[in-house]
Amino acid sequence: MLKTYVFFVLLFLFTPPPRHHTYNTPPFLSLSTILQSYDAAEFDALIEKYEKLNWRIISKPGGATVKPDEFYSLYGYHMQASQGDNTAERPMWAEKGGLDFEGRARWDAWTAVKGTAGDKAKLEFVKTYYEFPVKCLYTDTRGK
């Protein structure tokens, strides 16, 4: 009995983890093939939808609130595709006093994609819109 237990423990410890494929796709599909399956032409229609989604709210110190990181990733790609690189200063203070967590998160997300071409930013926006986890929303209405 002890030998069987030891065997299974050792088997578990020394067996490599299963290979996880990006986006839960078969291993024969490359990343470029996956990205090509999204259509940047959907960008304009999705812009109106993403801000209207029922995003979860995350509380910050001092009563401030922010949305999940995925919202800001979408915002960064949206701004990069529509206005190009971010040239504004990083916001520090909110209108009501305290740190401007919302403004800083938006600024950080936009600056993170600095230098990305407009077409690539549109494609990344569409990809991110369809792939962000449902846990970021109170109710997932993306399919409606």
**Looking at the domain assignment, is residue 22 inside a domain?**
no
pLDDT of residue 22: 45
**Does 8 fall in a domain?**
no
**What's residue 25's pLDDT?**
47
Q: How far is CA 12 from CA 9, 15, 16, 128, 131, in A?
A: 5, 6, 8, 35, 32
- The tokens describing 18, both together, are 């299963």
Residue 107 sits in which domain range?
Answer: 30-139
Q: Which residues pair with 54 in a beta bridge?
A: 139
DSSP letter assigned to residue 143 = T
Q: Is the pLDDT of residue 70 over 60?
A: yes
- CATH assignment of the domain containing 70: 1.20.80.10
> Residue 127: inside a domain, yes or no?
yes
Q: How many folded domains does the chain comprise?
A: 1
Residue-wise pLDDT tens digits, 7-28: 655 555 556 655 544 444 455 5
Please determine, for residue 6, whether its predicted confidence score (pLDDT) is greater than 70. Answer: no
Residue 21 lies in a domain: no
Residue 1 lies in a domain: no
The 10s digit of each residue's pLDDT in 26-56 is 555 455 555 557 888 889 989 988 888 999 9
Q: What is the CA radius of gyration of the chain?
A: 21
Instruction: Name the H helices within the chain.
Output: 2-14, 31-36, 43-52, 69-83, 101-112, 118-131
Q: What is residue 97's predicted lDDT score, i.e. its pLDDT?
A: 74
Supply the mean pLDDT for the chain.
Answer: 81
Q: Which of 21-30, 79-88, 116-125 has the lowest mean pLDDT?
A: 21-30
In a domain, 118, yes or no: yes
Q: With pLDDT > 90 as the criterion, what percentage of the chain qualifies?
A: 49
Tell me whether residue 2 is in a domain: no
Q: How confident is the model at residue 123 (pLDDT cuts 50, 70, 90)?
A: very high
Q: What is the per-residue pLDDT for 34? A: 52
Does pTM surpass 0.85?
no
4 belongs to a structural domain: no
